[in-house]
A and B are shown apart, each in its own frame.
Chain A
C-alpha cells in the first residue's frame, strides 16, 4: 500500500476527532474547549461523508442510471448532525458569554465552590 492511500477522509476524520479530544483534555480555557469540541465534530462529519463512498458513483438524483448510486444516508445524517452541532456550539458560547459577563470567569476552576452547603 502506498503511504498516500492512508490519507483518506476516514483516517483524517478519526485523527481530527482525537486531536479535538486532546484539546479538551489539556486546555483549561472555556473558549478553547468550545473550539476543540468543534474540531472533534468536524472530524466526525468528515468520517461520515467518506464512508461507503467509491469514486465511480453518482448522486441518487433524477431517474438516469448511468452508474451506481452513492449511498445518500451518511450525508443525510450529517446534515442533521451539522445543524445540531451549530446549535450546540451557539448554546455553549451563549452560556460562556453570560457567565463571563456576569462573573468574569474564563477558565474551568480547580475546585467546586462549596459555599452551597455552608449557608
Chain B
C-alpha cells in the first residue's frame, strides 16, 4: 500500500513526458488532489491502528525492504503532499512549467516520500542519490552560467557526502547483518561496547549533517537554494520541504543509535552555532533569495536545538517548527519569485513600495515575515514557545532570544521592501494563480498559529497547552525584539561594512570537502573522548 506513495508521482511524471501535451496539466492537479486524499486516508489509518508496515514482495519483516509509516513519517508525507499542491498551483501559468519540468518536479515528490517512509538503510542511500541528481537538474534548469556552477557544486558535494553514508551502512551491515532501521535499533542492545559503532555512526552523521546543512557544512545550501535563475517553486520546495528530509533522517538515525550513543548535547550546540552563523551571514546579504537561503540555515539550526533538547515538548515543538518553517519559508520564496520578476532586481535595498505596487503579494509576504519572526498568533510563535519550554535553564532561554533577535533584525531589513514609494505608478499585473497560491500559504501561516493547540493534537497526538500569561509575556518580548531589530537595522546593518564582508565569506569546493573531513574527525574524537 505504502509503495503507492513513491511510485504514483513517478508514474504521473512519466505520463507527462510521454504525451508532452499542455492539455495534460489539469490531470496533474487531479492526481495531486487524489494523492492528498490518499495521504489523509493513510494518516487516519496510522492514527487509529498504529504504525503501518509494507514489505516489498511480501517477505518476512526485517529481511525484506520495507516502507514504514508511523506518526512522524506520515505527518511529513501529508505535509509534503499538501504543500506540493500549492506549489503546482503557483507554477500553473509559468513559462518553465512544461512537461520536462513537471516530470522532474513530480519525481522529486516521490523520492521525498521514499525518504520519509523507507525503513531500509540502503534504500535511504538510493533515494538520497537519485534526489541529488533530480535536484541539481532542477537548480540548473535555466542553464544560466551561475546556475550551472551552483548546481555542479550541489551535485558533487552531495554525491560525495552520500558515499560516507554508504560506507557507514557497510560497516553496520558487517557488524549486525541487518539493514532495517527498526531491527537495527533493537540489535543495538546486544553490543558489548559502543565503540564498535563509532565509525559507522560518525560516517552516517556526516552525511545527515551535510543534508541538514549544520554549521561547517552549510556552504552548499545558499548556493543551491538561492541560485538566481532557479524557478521560485524549486527554491520553495528545496528550502521548505527537501531540507527537512535531512532533519528527519537525523531524528531517525539518532533514535536508531540511541541505545548505545547519545550525542544530544553535541548536536544541541551544533544547532545553536548553526542558528547564529546563519543569521549573521544573512545580515550581510543584498540578494533577497540569498537572505532567505541563509535564514533556512538559521531556522534549521533552531530545529536541531529543539530536537536535541532531550525533552518531549521541545521535540514536538521542533517538529511543529519543521511544519511552520515549511509554510513561511516557501511563502517567502514564492513571493520573492513574483517580486524580482516584477522589479527586475533582487537587491533588497532597491525594491520599495510593495504594498502599493502588488498589495496581495505584499500581504502574503507580511504574513510570512510575521510567522518567521514569531509574532503572537502566528505559527512561528507557537513552535518557538514549545521549544523554549524544553528547558528551564536560563541560558537556553537567552540563546533562543538571541536567535530571535537575529531573525527580527534581518527581517526588518527584508520588510523595508514592503513600504516606501513605488518606482512606478499604479498596480502591477500579477499572475492570478501564483498570487492565490502565495496568499493561501501566507494565511496558513496565521491559521496554523491560531489553531495550534488543536493541530498538534490532531497531527502528532501531542497535547500542548499555551499558558496565556506566559504567551502575553512572549508577545511583549517580541515587540521589544522588533524595536531592537529596527534600531540595529538603522544603526548598523544599513551601512554594511564588516557585516557585508562576513556575509560574503564562503568556502571553495575543496574547502567544503575539507570541512566535511574535519567534521568527521571532530565527531570521532568527541565520541571516543566523551563516551
Contact = CB atoms under 8 A, between A and B. Distances in A.
Interface of A: 10, 14, 17, 21, 24-28, 30, 33, 37, 40-41, 43-44, 47-48, 51-52, 71, 73-74, 77, 80-81, 84, 87-88, 91-92, 95-96, 98-99, 102-103, 105, 108-119
B166 A81 contact: yes
Interface stretch (B257-265, B315-323, B373-381, B505-513): B505-513
Nearest to B132: A88
Contact of B506 (A91, A108, A111): A111
A91 B155 contact: yes
A80 B166 CA distance: 12
A17 B167 contact: yes
28 contacts: A17-B167, A25-B510, A25-B513, A27-B510, A28-B510, A30-B152, A37-B156, A43-B167, A44-B163, A44-B167, A47-B170, A73-B173, A73-B179, A74-B170, A84-B130, A88-B159, A92-B156, A95-B151, A99-B152, A102-B145, A102-B148, A109-B508, A112-B149, A112-B150, A113-B149, A116-B287, A116-B290, A118-B347
Contacts of A84: 126, 129-130
A96 B526 CA distance: 38
B465 interface: no
Contact of A40 (B130, B148, B160): B160
Nearest to A40: B163
Contacts of A41: 163
B144 to A, nearest CB: 9
A52 B174 CA distance: 6
Given A95-B148, A95-B155, A116 B228 contact: yes
Contacts of B174: 10, 51-52
Contacts of A10: 174
Given A98-B148, A112-B223, A116-B287, A44 B170 contact: yes
B290 A117 contact: yes
B430 interface: no
Main secondary structure of the interface of A (DSSP, over half): helix
A33 B155 CA distance: 12
Contact of A80 (B126, B146, B290): B126
B285 to A, nearest CB: 7
A114 B345 contact: no
Contact of A115 (B146, B290, B510): B146
Interface string B340-375: 000001110000000000000000000000000000
Nearest to A27: B510
Nearest to A49: B170
Contacts of A103: 145, 148
Nearest to A115: B146
A32 B429 CA distance: 49
Contacts of A77: 122
Nearest to B506: A112
A47 B168 CA distance: 11
B517 interface: yes
Contact of A47 (B122, B167, B508): B167
Interface in B132-184: 133, 136, 140, 143, 145-146, 148-153, 155-156, 159-160, 163, 166-167, 170, 173-174, 177, 179
Given A28-B510, A37-B159, A52-B177, A99 B148 contact: yes
A116 B155 contact: no
A24 B508 CA distance: 12
Given A25-B517, A40-B160, A84-B126, A116 B346 contact: yes
Contacts of B177: 52, 71
Contacts of A118: 286, 347
B129 A88 contact: yes
A21 B163 CA distance: 10
Given A25-B513, A80-B126, A99 B149 contact: yes
A46 to B, nearest CB: 10
Contacts of A51: 170, 173-174
B411 to A, nearest CB: 18
Contacts of A17: 163, 167
A92 B151 CA distance: 10
Given A41-B163, A117-B290, A109 B156 contact: no
